[in-house]
Amino acid sequence: MKLKYCMLILALSLACPLLAQKQSWPVLHYRSIPNFLKFPPHIYMGEADGVAVDSKGNIYVYNRGSHPLMEFDSDGNFIQTIGDGLYAFVFPHAVRVDSEDNLWIVDEGSNMVVKFDPQWRVQMTLGRRSEIFDVNAPPPPPSPELFNRPTDVAFDPAGDIFVSDGYGNSRVVKYDKNGKYVKAWGKRGSGPGEFNLPHSIVADNNGHVYVADRENHRIQVFDYNGNYLTQWTNIGSPWGMCITKGANPHMFMVDGYTNKVEELDLHGHVLGAFGRTGRQLGEFINAHAIACGAHGVLYVGETRNWRVQKFVPEGNQ
How far lies 244's CA from each of 135, 293, 311, in Å? 40, 7, 14
Q: Each residue of 1-17: b (16+ CB within 10 Å) or e?
A: eeeeeeeeeeeeeeeeb
| Cα distance between residue 81 and residue 65, in whole Å | 11
Residue 64 phi/psi, 5-degree rounding, is -100, 35
62-120 pLDDT tens trace = 999 999 999 999 999 999 999 999 999 999 999 999 999 999 999 999 999 999 999 99
What per-residue confidence (pLDDT) applies to 124?
A: 98
Helices and strands in the chain, H and E counts: 2, 26
What per-residue confidence (pLDDT) applies to 133?
A: 58
Pairing of strands 283-284, 276-277: parallel
Residue 250 phi/psi, 5-degree rounding, is -125, 165
- Residue among 307, 298, 295 nearest 274 (CA): 298
| Cα distance between residue 84 and residue 89, in whole Å | 8
What per-residue confidence (pLDDT) applies to 24?
A: 86
Level-2 CATH architecture, domain 28-313: 6 Propeller (2.120)
Q: What number of CA atoms fall less than 13 Å from residue 221's CA on the CB side?
A: 13
Report the alpha-carbon angle 64-110-145, nearest 5: 145
Any idea where the domains of the chain sit in the sequence?
A: 28-313
- Residue among 103, 133, 76, 126 nearest 297 (CA): 76
What per-residue confidence (pLDDT) applies to 131?
A: 76
pTM of this structure: 0.91
| Helix or strand holding residue 103 (H, E) | strand 103-107
SS3 29: coil
Enumerate residue ranges in the chain where pLDDT < 50: 1-21, 317
